[in-house]
Structure 1
Amino acid sequence: MTTILRTTNLTKKYGSKTALDNLTLGLQKGEVLGVLGPNGSGKTTFLKIIAGMHKKTSGEITICGEEPGIKTKGMVSYLPDRNFLYKWMKISDAKDFYRDFFPDFNEQSFVKMMEVMNLDINQKISSLSKGMQEKLNVALCFSREAKLYVLDEPIGGVDPLARDMILDSIIDRAYDKKTIIITTQLVRDIENIFDRCVFLSDGATILSGNAEDIRNERGMSIEETFKEIYRGQI
């Protein structure tokens, strides 16, 4: 199988604070990795290093054999945990922005996703609810023909209907054998598509491996494992 992501003792420090501590893992083409943990556990730091927004302090990370940089930014489609579009934009402006900025943007796929998400391409970003904004952001992310899709809390804080639509889009991409990394605290809604999981606490790995192996070894679901590990922290 093709290795899409590999890290070895990946570490990120901000002054005296260690945000990510010796993370080692591998992700193969077509796998879905769930990165789990409470706020402040290092999840977003990890994703920003993959996206090329933060530089590692030490250790190794490669994406399709390349260290994060200009080349890998063209391989990774990153969805941050907060809205990143200008409020003056219409959805059509956001589409044009992505089309101009990312050569792998598939405008036809985006238009189809707008129909599925029940969004009007002429709507202003400023008029969208949080759920609608998240649906738009997910549609933009998945309309790229990327090697790796990286989603930071894509279903956090949105209404149940929007959550279902976003989950359906993620599940469709998982079944289409896209390589995906997802951070979430809403484990129950999405754990069935995880091929691998890594549980983080204060930047350190406390459990990592194949999702089905974790279920079998512990005799419980990923959500139940999550609750057991982080009881009192969330």
Structure 2
Amino acid sequence: MGNLHTDMDPIVNGHVAQLRGIHKKYILKHALRGIDLTIQRGRIVGLLGPNGSGKSTLLKMMAGLVYPTSGTIVVNGREPDVHNKQHVAYLPEIDHLYGWMTVTQTLAYISGFYKDWNAEKAAGMLIAMELDSNQKVRNLSKGMRARLKLIAALSRNVPLILLDEPFSGIDPSSRAKIIRLILQEFQSDEQTILLSTHSVNESEPLLDDVIFLQDGQVTIFDTAENLRTEYGCSLEKIWEKVYG
């Protein structure tokens, strides 16, 4: 198992989220076990771990969709709740789009929920992602639907963007386009992205910091650069060492 790195905790003014002693217990599962994290502003942070490690639960908690059993969490200066959507853009792993809508109708529908929606940005990403605005969602490939979901998340002017497995099960071409879009649209002076993924190899160029989760606990948290230096290999190889 890798070393536990928590030396980012002294950050005071430069953080977008702080979690202290977070536990989440369900009837049959203890999903999170004492999570302590400080997430810096202006970073793309990789949230890595096998299935069942607690990644989705952690993201849902930061989005205000589930509440901790114990511990404290502050996101953008406030405790997450049902109103957190005004401060956080959350892209779930599940497909939440309506198949009968066209691409244009989908974005128009989603935009109605958020005052911070940037229509000009959405239109530009639609072109970059090579999506047919008149195509019905039900007729899109999985990769194209993934592109549309990402546009919906990145079209909002919010301080924190949470992406849960945005590359899951999609083709290499779509993965490459999504990664380019994230890099192109990321506003490092205003935003932070927390990205949960199994696609470590493709995601590595994106990541400033990396969190490794296992059995609901943080086992490693450091900058990607420090980890590559310490282990002498890529993040994908570190994954194999930690979880292999």
Q: Same fold (TM over 0.5)?
A: yes
Of residues 197, 207, 210, the one that matches 1:197 is 210
Of residues 139, 150, 153, the one that matches 1:138 is 150
Deviation, structure 1 residue 71: 4.0
When the two structures are superposed, what TM-score results if normalisation uses the length of structure 2? 0.90
Whole-angstrom CA distance in 1 between matches of 2:186 and 2:238: 22
Secondary structure class of the residue paired with 2:220: strand
Q: Does 1:110 align with 2:122?
A: yes
Of residues 156, 159, 168, the one that matches 2:168 is 156
Report what 1:52 is aligned to.
Answer: 64
Whole-angstrom CA distance in 1 between matches of 2:194 and 2:185: 12
Provide, for residues 162-216 of structure 1, a one-character-per-residue CA deviation record: whole Å limited to 9, x for no partner: 1111010112234644310001111111112222111111111111122222222
Contact 2:65 2:82 in 1 (8 A): no
Deviation, structure 1 residue 84: 0.4
Deviation, structure 1 residue 136: 0.3
- The aligned amino acid for 1:32 is I
In structure 2, runs of 5+ residues without a counterpart are: 1-12
Deviation, structure 1 residue 145: 0.6
Matches within 5 A, 1:18-57: 18-57=30-69
- The aligned amino acid for 2:123 is V
Secondary structure class of the residue paired with 2:222: strand
- The aligned amino acid for 2:105 is D
- The aligned amino acid for 1:126 is R
Report what 1:224 is aligned to.
Answer: 237
Whole-angstrom CA distance in 2 between matches of 1:143 and 1:2: 24
Between 221-230 and 128-137, the greater mean CA deviation after superposition = 221-230
Between 109-118 and 14-23, the greater mean CA deviation after superposition = 14-23
- The aligned amino acid for 1:196 is D
Report what 2:3 is aligned to.
Answer: none
Whole-angstrom CA distance in 2 between matches of 1:17 and 1:206: 19
Of residues 210, 219, 223, the one that matches 1:210 is 223
Whole-angstrom CA distance in 2 between matches of 1:130 and 1:96: 21
In structure 1, runs of 5+ residues without a counterpart are: none
Deviation, structure 1 residue 70: 3.8
